[in-house]
Amino acid sequence: MQAMKRNFTWLLISLSIFLLPACNTATPENYFDRAVLNCNMMMGFASDGQQRELDQPSVKLVEGTKDQTAPMKRKEVIEQKIAYLDEAYAKIKNLQETDDTKEMLHASIALYDYVLPVYKSEYTQLAKLYDEGASSQQIASFSKSISDKYFAGFEDRFNKLTAAGKPYAAKHNIKVNWGVKTSP
């Protein structure tokens, strides 16, 4: 009986040694999806796309109803974007860097490092202007200042990520439609 328990214990330890590392191994598709494709949520950053999203926010169900909707507050729109990007960013940072993924991961992290602080500061301030009923001139001016200050840096980082992602996708036979443009 004692020998059987000992054998069972060794079996569990052996399985753990082999299975635990496998749980943390992402496939090339996982790396690509997290590092490159998730960045599509940033499209429109510091350009007309983000402005349209704030001009015409999504709707949400009115609490306690099943069919009545109301526009989201702009603060909620930005908070949802931040929450999604924070979660995606954490997943990228948890990926193990390899020689094969290094350039792509660094480019993706650089893009998140550039974009997230702007959402947490300037875009949060812009959402507040909307929600507090600021004039359209004040909103347009603030939005333009974000675009003027950040669009070129975003485009540069996004293009570097794309340049790193293309050969990675090709090497791993990941089919991607690269026809998206980042210019307004």
116-172 pLDDT, tens digit each: 999 999 999 999 999 999 999 999 999 999 999 999 999 999 999 999 999 999 999
Contacts of 84 (CB under 8 A, 6+ apart): 41
The closest alpha carbon to 114, from 102, 122, 103, 125, belongs to: 122
pTM comes to 0.81
46-94 pLDDT, tens digit each: 999 999 999 998 888 888 888 889 889 999 999 999 999 999 999 999 9
